[in-house]
Amino acid sequence: MLHLDGRKLEGGGQLLRISLCLSALTGTPVKIVHIRGNRSGGGGLKAQHLACVKWLAAACGAEVEGAELKSKTLVFKPAGEMDAVSPAYKQRRLLDDSVIYETRLDIGSPGSIGLALQAVLPFILLSPPQDGSVVPSLVHLTITGGTNVSQSPSYDYIEQVLLPMLEDIGIPPVKFTLDRRGWSTGRAGIGSVTFHIQPLAFYQPLPAFELLPPETAEPSSPGVLGKTASPARIDATLLTHSSALCQKLKSAVEASVQTRFGEHLKEDTKTLNFRFDATPAASTFYLLLVATLPHGGKHIKLGCDCLWEKKVTDIMQKADQVAKAVTQRLAAEVKSRACVDEHMRNQLVVFQALAEGRSHIYAGESADGEAREASLHTQTAEWVAAEFLGVEFGNGTGNGIGYVRARSSSVNEEEDMLVQKLDRVELEA
């Protein structure tokens, strides 16, 4: 059994989520003590963490000790190979006779849907339900909780940054449906998102990937911001309660983007695009800016956001400051030549560790030309992956193990019989 101290490095939920995911995938039992030991309030399991524990335990048939709210010690023992479809899934046959598997992860509070997805998505992609199909069936995962939660990836970030970037590294496209929003601020409420996930084929590892900057261009070249390709577009998502605040924020974003990027952006209405949605309370607003940069036939997505958590009386006065702060952070990400933003980098570590071969992510450089140091979240993810898989990381590079999930023995026998039958038919023909 692997023993981990939950106070290591970042010392929060990141360590727990990645540990459980890798334990479920590899069948490695793990004991985690001092769970979220670096967090205020004493740490321990919150509703979001407990929901992930229960879902992964059901999905891999694990025995669990300590699965309760505020628990600071957890033992997770996966069952190993499961011949039957996991009880975490419900099979549904469609009118065209195709099969999908439905599953739910209910947090029970406005806990982060984005963080719960981080814990279970690699497992679903690489260890799908086995029912005899040569290609794994589609999985519909519904997560209930918070779509816009403090210190967590929002639904909007997942939609506009995370999932497009995962597709760029070789993950089958993940579609999604926003059923309703859930907020952790203002008038808190529980939301719901359904993700439509196509797992990787059996015996097919995730290929190694590279997210590296294009060749350094001269500062005077067209379409170049300093030594960096300038954004092809910037998308702004504004979620507010009042039309007056929405208009004020829109004007502030337009002015800030013009100040930071104006000379490099095209003078047309499609370069800066706005999305709007209403929030349930006057004290709640959210701003996300996403820069899209061309990159070798693909597109790099860099995102920066702000979820308002202060007094409602300050919102109108601080709208300009919020817009300037978020735009400034986005400009710094673009100028660094990064191929991922700070939050995206830590979410790719588990895929680097599981991919086949050497993957490299360029995380940008500081103003003095030095490589940007990995965040504590990224360092924690790399440490956990090294503990479970023995992989090594350095300066954005990771040597993955080429994880593949073999089909169960009973499925293999059925497939072998089918192949032999087809061979006989071919010979007779």
**298: confidence class by pLDDT, cuts 50, 70, 90:** confident
Across 51-83, b (16+ Cβ under 10 Å) vs e yields: bbbbbbbbbbbbebebbeeebbebbbbbeeebe
419: part of which helix (H) or strand (E)?
helix 409-428
Tokens of 80: 């190993």
Give 83's strand partners. Answer: none
Q: Is 350 helix (H, G, I), strand (E, B) or coil?
A: helix
- What Å distances lie between residue 69 and 19, 66, 190, 244, CA to CA? 18, 9, 18, 41
pLDDT digits (tens, 9 = 90+) for 129-162: 877 666 788 999 999 999 999 989 999 999 999 9
Tokens of 315: 């919102």
* Angle, CA of 402, 406 and 408, to the nearest 5°: 165
Which two tokens mark 228? 């960096």
**Is residue 329 within 8 Å of residue 338, measured between CB atoms?**
no
Instruction: For CATH 3.65.10.20, list the domain ranges present in the chain.
Output: 83-204
List where CATH 3.30.360.20 sits in the chain. 224-335
Tens-digit pLDDT profile for residues 229-272? 678 889 999 998 888 888 988 999 999 998 888 766 655 545 88
Confidence of residue 221 (pLDDT cuts 50, 70, 90): very low
pLDDT classification of 82: cutoffs 50, 70, 90: low
Cα 42 vs. chain centroid, distance in angstroms?
Answer: 26
User: What does the pLDDT read at residue 396?
Assistant: 87
CATH 3.30.110 in the chain, residues?
Answer: 1-81
Query: What's this model's pTM, rounded to 2 decimal places?
Result: 0.89
**pLDDT greater than 90 at residue 58:** yes
CA angle in degrees (0–180, nearest 5) for 323-326-328:
100
Architecture of domain 83-204: Alpha-beta prism (3.65)
pLDDT tops 70 at residue 110: yes
Q: 105 vs 312, which has greater pLDDT?
A: 105
Residue type, 239: L
Contact 37, 43 (CB under 8 A): yes
For the chain, the helix, strand and coil percentages under 3-state DSSP, each to the nearest 5: 35, 25, 40
Task: Give how far Cα 414 sits from Cα of 101, 134, 171, 176, 335, Å.
Answer: 21, 11, 28, 33, 55
- Rounded to whole angstroms, the Cα distance separating 347 from 169 reads 12
Average pLDDT, the chain: 86
| Residue 224 pLDDT level (bands cut at 50, 70, 90) | very low
Q: Which residue has the higher pLDDT, 42 or 402?
A: 402
Predicted confidence at residue 229, as pLDDT, reads 62
Provide the CATH number for the domain formed by 224-335 in this structure: 3.30.360.20
CATH of domain 1-81: 3.30.110
228 pLDDT tier (thresholds 50, 70, 90):
low
Q: What is the pLDDT of residue 390?
A: 95
Choose the weakest-confidence range: 207-211, 213-217, 383-387.
Answer: 213-217
